[in-house]
Structures are given as structure tokens and as C-alpha cells.
Amino acid sequence: MPVSVELKTLNHAVDDLRAALASLRGKYGDVPTVARIRNDLERLQLDVVDVERLPAAPAGSPSSGEIHMLTDEPYDPSLWAEDADDEGLGGYHGSSR
């Protein structure tokens, strides 16, 4: 399977990071901050290998750049009823009076 332009670019960026990390290790040693970057780079390299093994997304899938239009219709008012829970905002806990 031929390597895509995106993967070539990604691999080039990883190579640049590897070179920059080697320079950092030479300058600062393997201090905790540099060691964390090294671990992040190792994880990134594993993720790149995983991406290289993925099949291409089928045409028409959301990842293919297809645009989904959202309507301007108002939301159902019951979503904001007094006893509704606002997920992600800590939820409704009664009045603060």
C-alpha cells in the first residue's frame, strides 16, 4: 500500500521531533521534563504506526470532509425545563436563593 502524503508529512514531523529531542537531551540531560517529552514521542510513534495500518475511510463518511448542515430550528424548550439537568455544567441543584 503506498504511503499517503499526509503520512509522509507526519513521519517527517516525527523525525524532526526526534532530532529536536536528541538536542534537548544533549543540552539538559534526561531530566524529568525531557523524559516526559521522550515518552510522548514514543507514544506518538506508536500512534503513527497504528494510523499507517488503518484502512482508508470510505467515500461519504464524515471523515471524508463531508459537510453536515444544521438547521436554525429552535431547540425543544423542555430541554431547559426547571428540573432539567445541565450536563457538563455541574447539573441543576435548585435555586441559589
42-89: pLDDT as tens digits = 999 999 999 999 887 776 666 656 677 888 988 888 877 776 666 666
pLDDT digits (tens, 9 = 90+) for 11-46: 999 999 999 999 999 999 999 999 999 999 999 999
State the pLDDT at residue 88. 60
Close Cβ partners of 24 (under 8 Å, ≥ 6 residues apart): 34, 37
Q: What is the DSSP letter of 77?
A: G
Q: Is residue 94 part of a domain?
A: no
Is the C-alpha dihedral spanning 18, 24, 30, 31 positive or negative? negative
Q: How many structural domains does the chain have?
A: 1
Residue 96 has pLDDT above 70, yes or no: no
Is the C-alpha dihedral spanning 59, 10, 55, 63 positive or negative? negative
Rounded Cα gap, residues 51 and 9, in angstroms: 13
Residue 3 has pLDDT above 80, yes or no: no
What does pTM read for this prediction?
0.56
Q: Is residue 85 part of a domain?
A: no
Q: Is residue 70 part of a domain?
A: no
Q: Which domain holds residue 18?
A: 5-61
Q: Is residue 97 part of a domain?
A: no
Rounded Cα gap, residues 77 and 82, in angstroms: 10
Amino acid identity of residue 81, one-letter, is: A
Pair 4, 41: CB distance under 8 Å: no
State the pLDDT at residue 4. 87
Residue, of 46 and 92, whose pLDDT is higher? 46
